[in-house]
Structure 1
Amino acid sequence: MTISPVRPTTEGAVGNLVGRRPVLFLSAAAAAFVALCVALWPPTKDPYDLQVYVVAARAVLNGQDVYTAHAGDPILLGFTYPPFAALLFAPLGAVSAEVGRLVMSVLSAVALLVIGSITVRALKPHWSTHRMVAVGIALGAAGLALEPVRMTFHYGQINLMLLAILMIDLFGYLPRRFRGVLIGVATGIKLTPGIFIVYLLVTRRYREAATAAAATTATMLIGFLAMPDAAWKFWTTYILDPTRPGSSTLVSNQAWRGVIDRLSGGPQGLGPVWIIAVASTVVLGFVTVRRFYDRGRLLESVLLTAAIGLLVSPISWTAHWVWALPACALLWTRVFSAGETWMRARYRIALAALTTVTFGIGLPWLAPYMDDRELHHHGFQLYLGNSYAICAAVLLLAAAKVSKES
């Protein structure tokens, strides 16, 4: 199956006022949205994760070890990304904190617009470019209603940027010979996007998988060349330290490992229950992914892969679940495009509503948390505290059922 983006013919001749008006309107709308995001998360804020990035960035510029630079601050966690990511963050160390926060908010807002537009194009490939961008801006703005998106802005994280570059690559917006490069770069930044290299293999896009693997290897080599000692320590020591990103039992960890550790009363490490959960998710998930892909349902196959990756990763903080935005758009689009009565579509409506409410409210935060209160959940708290993982599992099972029937 060859994936190529749909590019409708250009609307309006160059210099034609009628052709210019939509462009001006859409540009103004996009600029207003970016300004809104900056107003909601202004440079006066002090995002926690961005502080971690800045400490690592300054360590790069000062020739220090990026993985121990936080040691003088008892509040900060250590930098957890590969050395290549620290190199990309280096410019943040050369500007003021306020400028750095402004840049991160602007980049996340632009990424959100890209995510919205690519999602709309995947759902409505025959829409005009202007209509696609207009609805994409609206979808990006609607994304602010989702807790993972809000938390990404709040903490100054890079989740939306990674999602945007992954979607650009996965949905064919790169020249064919470069497809896979951005997946490899994203993997070199945060490792977890490596699940999409597996996706490329499962869907028999072998050339793209090889390109992605080569790009990932290149990021590793760059890290070793730029900071050999830090790179060696990361790949042999820090990557194996389960406590470095934070406690796995925190309610914000919505991966299978977080669920299992909370239910069992404390960190269990890579125990048999976790291994079984991961193996089952990978096998069932990728069988379903392949079925959807073979039937030309690219967006479903990509989103299912994202769900697999989030569930099997040892740590998936709630802010990592920004994939909920295209997922909600997909689910509601399928509800209204099925052409069925409300009664016949009740299961689709239930899934769409479950996903929207779960990620819109941020249900895990309604359960008791911090100071090990996660280890004493009972009754409905058990559902709330693990609701992202439960919702993802429900969607995977529903998708598996649909893929077998259709």
Structure 2
Amino acid sequence: MRVPTRPRPVVPRHRWVLAALVVAVAASPVALRYLVFWPLDQWQVDVDVYRDAGVSILTGRPVYSAMTEAPQLLPFTYPPFAAFLGVPLALLPFGVVGWLWTALQVLATTAITWYAARGLLRQAGPWLPLALAALTAPMLWLHPVGDGIRFGQVNAFIVLACVMDLVEPRPRIARWLPKGALIGLAMAVKLTPGVFVVHFLVTRRWKEAATAVASAAVATLLAAAVLPGTSWEYWTAALRDPTRLGPNAGTANQSVRGFLLRLGPEGLPGTVLWLVVAAAIAWFGFRLAARRYRAGDPVGELAVVGIVACLVSPVSWVHHYHWVVVVVLALLGVQPWRERRRLWAAAAITVFFTLRLPWWGIDWLAHRDWPQWPGRVLQNADVAGGLLCLGLLWWVARDRADGPGPEALPDGTGARRPRVTA
């Protein structure tokens, strides 16, 4: 039996053009700041690392021994499979790569907004393009998104892959892949999406867990077949070298471990404290994510797991919090005007992460004659913001923690798909 769906409204083409213009204008302050007015010696330093890895593959030099040009001198820190993604970048001039990568990040963030807020956006009818642009614009002003554009980072694409993998209905490009495959490919590029495998195991989704692991393994083995020496160096040496990631105690590391390295006890007591706190956050987060899965809320599920990954990872730079985009959309839900607490929660997180509070803390601490504790609080604001995200995701959904199940997902119109029995 087919469930009837509403006919899609006809959207005039000029509204899509206008929406694209709105998104471009919204992105321009961040792009101008970091691509036009930013110092050249700090310009797009991370995409320079990716491009340099591609150059290493094409020229035969060691991937993990090469450094970008002075003054940055940054090494490649990702798995070998990720180095292959830098090969197309190596074929283009660096200036072109910086602008192209920025445009792709803006498009990826727009796509995340579309897939994660589709039920809400469908209710705009023929005004859907402008609703999408209006919802995307403030996402581009979140400081984790801005920092991703500043450095030329990969996080927007990691988040998009996870969203495309789990949010129903899946895009056509992902439907021919089993669930978990895109997350596995993301794991082959960056290890942190592996937290989703833990979530799959907690929710007893053995097929998705196996698919993610298999997908990551295939990509990794293909890279090892082509670059055996490089793969051996990464898995036996480079991966275990924490100095390659930069100063773990620096303000940019907004994980719980980064917070404890700055303020907690040193040595073994600090490590034990971090493991205990991280375990407590993981326990709460995975339980909450499992409840969102059972309630048929894949966007909330993704938001929780993504933020848990940021908090419990040993190193989570500010731009890793690109997951806040998904958090805001999960908080809004499908009809936020019917639940004002959703609007307030989403607005609170948007404002919080638009402010660059950790850097305010650095400016505060530069004044030696000022009291230290306000600066320390601001310096660690994104850790507190991550915990706030988890708290608000629990708060807005606490009355329906156990919903009708994953089969009752939004049908794209904002309505729930009813259970159908033969």
Counterparts of residues 209-288 of structure 1 (less than 5 Å): 209-264=209-264, 271-288=271-288
SS in 2 for 1:136: helix
SS in 2 for 1:321: helix
Q: In the TM superposition, what is the alpha-carbon distance from 1:256 to its structure 2 partner?
A: 0.9
User: Is the Cα contact below 8 Å between 1:288 and 1:403 reproduced in 2?
Assistant: no
Match of 1:146 among 132, 142, 147: 142
Q: In 1, Cα distance between the equivalents of 2:264 and 2:270? A: 13
Q: In 1, Cα distance between the equivalents of 2:289 and 2:264? A: 31
Amino acid in the other structure paired with 1:23: R
**Cross-structure match for 1:330:** 330
SS in 2 for 1:380: helix
**Cross-structure match for 1:362:** 356
Q: 1:259 to 1:388 in 2, by over 3 A?
A: same
**Cross-structure match for 2:420:** none
**Cross-structure match for 1:385:** 379
> Percent identity between the aligned chains?
30
Q: In the TM superposition, what is the alpha-carbon distance from 1:259 to its structure 2 partner?
A: 0.5
Q: Which moved more, 1:244-253 or 1:23-32?
A: 23-32
Q: In 2, Cα distance between the equivalents of 1:269 and 1:176? A: 48
Q: In the TM superposition, what is the alpha-carbon distance from 1:90 to its structure 2 partner?
A: 0.9
Q: In 2, Cα distance between the equivalents of 1:99 and 1:7? A: 44
Q: 1:178 to 1:231 in 2, by over 3 A?
A: same
Q: 1:404 to 1:146 in 2, by over 3 A?
A: closer
Q: 1:317 to 1:71 in 2, by over 3 A?
A: closer
Matched, 1:394 2:392: no
User: Is the Cα contact below 8 Å between 2:119 and 2:334 reproduced in 1?
Assistant: no
Amino acid in the other structure paired with 1:85: A
TM superposition score normalised by structure 1: 0.84
**Cross-structure match for 1:15:** none
Output one character per residue of 1:256-298: Cα deviation in whole Å (capped at 9) or x when no partner: 1100100037687981111111211111111111112212222
Q: Higher relative contact order by CA 8 Å / sep ≥ 6: 1 or 2?
A: 2
Q: In 2, Cα distance between the equivalents of 1:85 and 1:7? A: 41
User: Is the Cα contact below 8 Å between 2:51 and 2:86 reproduced in 1?
Assistant: yes
Amino acid in the other structure paired with 1:29: A
Q: In 2, Cα distance between the equivalents of 1:267 and 1:244? A: 20
User: Is the Cα contact below 8 Å between 2:155 and 2:322 reproduced in 1?
Assistant: yes
Match of 1:155 among 137, 145, 151: 151
Residue segments in structure 1 that go unaligned for 5+ positions in a row? 1-5, 13-18
**Cross-structure match for 1:26:** 16
Q: 1:128 to 1:141 in 2, by over 3 A?
A: closer
Alpha-carbon RMSD: 3.2
Q: 1:264 to 1:78 in 2, by over 3 A?
A: same
4+ runs deviating over 6 angstroms: 265-270, 369-374, 401-404
**Cross-structure match for 1:93:** 90
Q: In the TM superposition, what is the alpha-carbon distance from 1:311 to its structure 2 partner?
A: 0.6
Q: 1:234 to 1:299 in 2, by over 3 A?
A: same
User: Is the Cα contact below 8 Å between 2:337 and 2:343 reproduced in 1?
Assistant: no
Q: 1:186 to 1:398 in 2, by over 3 A?
A: same
Q: 1:63 to 1:119 in 2, by over 3 A?
A: same
Match of 2:61 among 60, 64, 69: 64
Match of 1:75 among 69, 72, 75: 72
Q: In the TM superposition, what is the alpha-carbon distance from 1:75 to its structure 2 partner?
A: 2.2
Output one character per residue of 1:347-384: Cα deviation in whole Å (capped at 9) or x when no partner: x676445422321012111112799999x993222221
**Cross-structure match for 1:107:** 104
Q: In 1, Cα distance between the equivalents of 2:287 and 2:335? A: 24
Q: In 1, Cα distance between the equivalents of 2:218 and 2:279? A: 29
Q: In the TM superposition, what is the alpha-carbon distance from 1:152 to its structure 2 partner?
A: 0.8
Q: In the TM superposition, what is the alpha-carbon distance from 1:32 to its structure 2 partner?
A: 5.8
Match of 2:47 among 46, 50, 62: 50
Q: 1:8 to 1:227 in 2, by over 3 A?
A: farther
Q: 1:101 to 1:129 in 2, by over 3 A?
A: farther
SS in 2 for 1:77: coil
TM superposition score normalised by structure 2: 0.81
Q: 1:110 to 1:76 in 2, by over 3 A?
A: same
Q: In the TM superposition, what is the alpha-carbon distance from 1:143 to its structure 2 partner?
A: 1.3
